[in-house]
A and B are shown apart, each in its own frame.
Chain A
Amino acid sequence: MDSPASGGPERSTGHGLLRVLTCGSVDDGKSTLIGRLLHDAGLVPDDQLEQVRRDSRGRVEQDGEIDFSLLVDGLEAEREQGITIDLAYRFFATSRRSFIVADAPGHEQYTRNMATGASAASLALLLVDARKGLLTQTRRHSVICSLMGIRHIVLAVNKMDLAGFGEAVFDAILRDYRAFAAPLGFTTVTAIPLSARAGDNVVHRSARMPWYGGPTLLEHLEAVEPGEGDRAAAPLRFLVEWVARPAASDTDFRGLSGSVLSGRVAAGDRVTVWPAGTPARVARIVTLEGEPEEARAGDAVTLVLEEAVDAARGDLLSGAGAGAGDAPEVADQFAAHLLWMGEEPMIPGRSYLLRSGARWMPATVTALRHVLNVETLEHGAAATLGLNAVGLCNLSTAAPLAFDAYAANRDTGSFILVDRFTSRTVGAGMIRHPLRRAANLHRQELAVSAAERAGIKRQRPAVLWFTGLPGAGKSTVANRVERRLHALGHHTMLLDGDNVRLGLNRDLGFTDADRVENIRRAGEVARLMTEAGLIVLCAFIAPFRAEREMVRALFAEGSFMEIFVDTPLAECQRRDPKGLYAKARAGSLRNVTGIDSPYEPPQAPELRLDTLAEDADRLADRVVEALRVRGIAGA
């Protein structure tokens, strides 16, 4: 095949677009295979081939041979190290089909990049080295492909030239793989023996493996039916991405611009806007090129509704048919598989930002039900999820979310989690099902309101959150503040970290995960006490910013004060009122904040107290003065 395969307009009459992921262990030859595929199909331009031919010198044994991996490994570090670090996307078209190939890295440390590629793929090309058989990464990648919803696997048994082109070798690997993958629910597993380096069975049929009667890799990729193409037959899901504002000439115009994620919608259809559940009817469909009667999965259009309903970016429209299956789930608690992508572990109870569709909202993992062993598929127990780990979790969101199970709809069943402080993407989630308790628990309206309870005490409830290292002086200052408030006639309560740990939180230890839960419970107790009308003083180390922000979010603006008792570590160690630092130094105590456990100082506390500059009484006066200024105490 010497002329480039064509990719003209006629290709739409072929098999459409196929999104392929290549994965497998490092050094199994993924980049080489893609390079070889492009080359043998005549899709590499001459000038690029010439460049690669030049770059290949010294990298391959035979002069004049080409290192095909150089066609796809583009980053300097990748070429230096001869590995793939990040996903590369390759595009090509033959006369039968166009392809987007995501070439994924094989190293375990880049599993998140592999998962990213899997999230959009319909078919995975899984490479196995014929000499090595199934490796840990072969299994890990298979499990992630299965979780991500890929239903078609091509098991590319590579380097057959180095395994004597033996049929028995190939059969044994295929047998092993079928046994391993049986529980993963793939629709098809097609195995092809090939040599990426030498080009056997990639585009051209190999004469060296006459025992193989199946298709070449390219033939199979051109012919395979992903069997998921009919998203248009699924229930309607229309994601609102933008509310089109009135144009100057048409001030009444209000359109919901978005994407048809699945199903179809036509002018005149009755729809429901989620999560509110508002019914409406589609008046017309608007595009720059005109007004089509109908839009189907994959279209980006603007819907104009007959009614002036309240619909905003992030809302989801479904059909309003009689079938209950037409409506998405709406809940603020659900179970999901979570692939962790963060360097810092996932900690249940910590607040993250969740993105689903076009909506952002705070969310926490309320329980880590199990961690999946991606080699054996066994479920294990764990307190946290580390980098590249997969777990089944319960999540809770700050507002109800409209979604579907991931198995039913990848777009409406997926989400990402983002760290609130670094803005990094730390998790990728696939929703399994809503938690029934979310639907069955409703906040009970109380007969006496928080404002009434506070009113009878003639005060404004508030939380004073003292944070700082052990021995900084939090409890000392908090005690003196409470004395003064009491003397002024205020109703108060002091929650001290140690006291709470002796009672309510006696089941918790000092791991990061337990510290987060400790603070979560303390925050909830403080909230109940402010609803009772009290001024609550909390003296907790609360080492992580994320948790202090989580507690802050429980309270109305202005009723939560973060008070940073700022004492240098050396001074705290000198004071050491409870002997913690001495024990830590002696090695008899672990997880001591400031020693072998981190402390993240507040960045913008309402008040900062310098215990080196002033004594505890002066500092207590300062706190009371700050409360007076805010109208909380001593009015």
Chain B
Amino acid sequence: MPHPPPPLPEDLRLLEAEAVSILRETAAAFRKPVLLYSIGKDSGVLLHLARRAFHPGPLPFPLLHIDTGWKFREMIAFRDETVRRLGVELIVHRNEEGAARGIDPVRSGSALHTRVMKTEALRQALDRHGFDAAIGGARRDEEKSRAKERIFSIRSPGHGWNPRDQRPEPWRLYNTRLQPGETVRVFPLSNWTELDVWRYVAARRLPVVPLYFAAERPVVRRSGTLIMVDDERLPLDPGEVPERLRVRFRTLGCYPLTGAIPSGAATVEEIIAEMRASRSSERQGRLIDGDEPAAMERKKREGYF
């Protein structure tokens, strides 16, 4: 007889149940859903909630990873280990045309790289496989335009988002009916905060990519940001020598675009303690948000997650 689950704090219990319910709704209401798995902590929580929603049955949808080719090596290793451990189906998609054109985050710049290797790649993958619902781990507390987004967010044919024309979602009654060519993005973690995610990781003892924990890593300082030298593809300026600093990451993306923070937090509990004392926001290290005013809203209108 398995042990009963450890009791969750009351607010997490409600957030967990809400997310589980949304995942079941997605599986039941759409023809071909997919779970966007980006390997980070939110994805990890989402994957756990999905397994929880359909236990003891298998996941009724595959995982999709949009690989830009520039993820940290430890992320890819963690991804492959997770897929093996849980026996889930994973689709990896890369925008091969973009890669062939030589788009990369260092020389092309973050804006072009993101548009081609993430936004366009996602649209390609959804179209190619005919997915009509894409589940993602985005949260409303991440960014102001995300704070405005519905849990079931309709995308017009071509994946555009019209923030001024969203369906109301009273109670928990989601309108899941699509017009021809429309797709939907589903955000089960909408009402979670960054801290909720870590508290949940702690409560359910979920594995996360080791990059979240402080360790000595080779980094260079660039315009106030600490960039980790993850492989030889990062061009060093003349005279630039990577230094070894004790750092960790609050979010994970393409390594040349993701700033590390100096930290001594080596466990989930220490991360939670550090976060309570922190004075800066989660995405502060994400270079792509600062591309232009309302950068995220515009990216989303173009089909970025």
Contacts and interface: CB of A to CB of B under 8 A. Distances in A.
B24 A86 contact: no
Contact of A89 (B12, B21, B147, B297): B147
Given A11-B11, A74-B145, A47 B284 contact: yes
Contacts of A287: 5, 52, 55
Contacts of A11: 9, 11
A245 B178 CA distance: 26
Given A91-B140, A289-B5, A300-B17, A77 B27 contact: no
Closest 6 CB pairs of A and B: A74-B144, A12-B9, A289-B5, A45-B281, A119-B170, A300-B20
Contact of B168 (A112, A253, A289): A112
A359 to B, nearest CB: 10
A228 interface: no
10 contacts: A45-B281, A74-B144, A75-B297, A89-B140, A93-B195, A247-B58, A341-B168, A355-B175, A358-B25, A414-B170
B294 to A, nearest CB: 5
A39 to B, nearest CB: 13
Contact of A355 (B1, B53, B143, B173): B173
A284 B80 CA distance: 35
A17 B14 contact: yes
B175 A418 contact: yes
Contacts, number: 199
Interface in B176-229: 177-179, 190-193, 195, 199, 202-204
Nearest to B192: A91
A227 interface: no
A631 interface: no
Contacts of A313: 28
Contact of B173 (A45, A47, A416, A422): A416
A488 interface: no
Given A12-B10, A355-B173, 19 more contacts: A4-B278, A9-B9, A11-B9, A12-B12, A16-B10, A45-B279, A74-B148, A75-B163, A77-B164, A86-B163, A88-B144, A93-B195, A119-B170, A120-B171, A244-B57, A302-B56, A353-B177, A358-B25, A418-B175
A79 B28 CA distance: 38
Contact size class for B? 35 or more
Nearest to B48: A288
A425 B173 CA distance: 10
Interface stretch (A291-299, A374-382, A546-554): A291-299
B177 A418 contact: yes
Contact size class for A? 35 or more
A241 B28 contact: yes
B2 interface: yes
A257 B54 CA distance: 8
Interface string B158-174: 00000110111111110
A76 B4 contact: no
A48 interface: yes
A484 interface: no
Nearest to A250: B56
B276 interface: yes
Contacts of B178: 423
B244 interface: no
Interface string A62-96: 00000000001111110100000111111101000
A113 B193 CA distance: 22
Contacts of A8: 195, 199, 272-273, 276
A489 interface: no
Contact of B167 (A46, A291, A298, A425): A425
B168 A116 contact: yes
